[in-house]
Amino acid sequence: MKITQEQITTLNAERISAHQSEFHFLKQKLSDKGVDVDEVLLQVQNFQVAIPSWALGAGGTRFGRFSFGGEPSDLREKINDVGLIHALTQ
């Protein structure tokens, strides 16, 4: 599955107005409670998602393998999956 930057941008553009409105409301509520929202935002911006190797492998346990549709079948597909996850977590 390929997700382009254009698709991400389009989807975000459709939702930005509602997001900003809800964010400003939440920011005010948190600020009223003494939360430094700018510090929280900085921490979120610095947050990185680690992708465990088992998340991209075949499904299964020591007792058997449980295939499912869309699972990567080779290294190239696994790398593509990692790229997709990376693009969505930027």
The long-range contacts involving 70-73, CB below 8 angstroms and separated by at least 24 positions, are 70/1
SS3 49: coil
Cβ contact 49:89 at 8 Å: yes
- At which residue do the structure tokens 């509602």 appear? 18
* pTM of structure: 0.55
Closest CA to 44 of 35, 55, 52: 35
CA 83, chain centre distance (Å):
12
Q: Give per-residue pLDDT as tens, 12-32.
A: 999 999 999 999 999 999 999
| Per-domain residue ranges of the chain | 1-35, 48-90
Give residue-wise pLDDT tens across range 42-81: 999 888 877 777 777 666 667 776 667 777 778 888 888 8
